[in-house]
Amino acid sequence: MTLWMDIMRPDARPQHRGVEIIHATGVEGARAARGVVVVIDVLRSFTVSAYALAGGARECLLVPTTDEALSLAQRIADSIVCAEENALPIPGIAISNSPTQVRAGRFQGRTLIQRSSAGTPVIAAVRSGDGMFAASLVVASATAQACLSTHPSTVTLVASADFPEDHACALYIEAVLRGSSLNLDPLLQPLRDSERYRKVMAGLWPGFPPTDIELSLAVDRFDFAMPATRHEGFIALRQVKGSRTRRRSRD
């Protein structure tokens, strides 16, 4: 039985392998999340994290404000700041939450410090103590497998924002949790039909190159999950290899 609730609150879905799967959206959804929590930001925060870790970054540190990101960078040798405000670049910060820019950078052994408008505040709002992951389409299947490896009774999938790509990623992860398949194309069509998509693809969005879309929609590009751990002042993401090889490679 599926219980549909307000978009900002969890809605329970049928179980698979004894796991209750819940969908939620935004900060309020994250606060109410139960069990193992997966916070999803496809465009672009947790896609950026994945490309940084794949490029050799030691870890990604998520902070709530740009000032905190700059302050933390002063204390961590050889760190790099990636930040945006309202999805726009910040003067003086070279990387603006862009997987294109991160992919082109040198991250081996370095720390990426991230501030974003959706992913970072949403994951910071999680209260469940059963474990949490940051996710996007590029690490979707590996994230689902990492969740299952903890033998959870409940998994809450939180879309950072009410955008089609985040909901599509949540449904895709749910399908993997259920051991089934899902055609993402119709779920992503509302993104492709949006003014937001047209603006990015026309090169009209500062700090948001068109190539960010392709890199962000590369489903299961990486075979690792990104468990999140709390520390004083930030949340740390590291990569953990999944028990199953990725379904698809677009390297």
Q: Is pLDDT larger for residue 184 or for residue 244?
A: 184
Q: What's the whole-number mean pLDDT along residues 88-104? A: 92
Q: What's the whole-number mean pLDDT along residues 10-32? A: 78
Q: How many residues does the chain have?
A: 251
Domain definitions of the chain by residue range = 1-239
User: In CATH, what is the architecture of 1-239?
Assistant: Alpha-Beta Complex (3.90)
pLDDT reported for residue 77: 93
Of 209, 147, 219, the residue nearest 183 (C-alpha): 219
pLDDT reported for residue 239: 96
pLDDT reported for residue 94: 87
Q: What's the whole-number mean pLDDT along residues 205-219? A: 96
pLDDT reported for residue 249: 33
In this structure, of 1-15, 64-78, 157-171, the range with the lowest mean pLDDT score is 1-15
Tell me how far apart the alpha carbons of residues 63 and 84 are, in angstroms, rounded to a whole number: 12
Model confidence band, residue 7 (pLDDT cutoffs 50, 70, 90): very low
In this structure, of 37-46, 136-145, 235-244, the range with the lowest mean pLDDT score is 235-244
Phi, psi of 13 (to 5 degrees): -125, 170
Q: What's the whole-number mean pLDDT along residues 29-40? A: 97
pLDDT at 12 over 50: no
Q: What's the whole-number mean pLDDT along residues 43-60? A: 97
> What are the angstrom distances between the C-alpha of 236 and each of 55, 133, 165, 187, 248?
17, 10, 24, 30, 27
pLDDT digits (tens, 9 = 90+) for 123-178: 999 999 999 999 999 999 999 999 999 999 999 999 999 999 999 999 999 999 99
pLDDT reported for residue 87: 85
> pLDDT over 70 for what percent of the chain?
89
- DSSP class of residue 139? G
Q: Return mean pLDDT, the chain.
A: 89
C-beta atoms surrounding 92 within 10 Å: 9
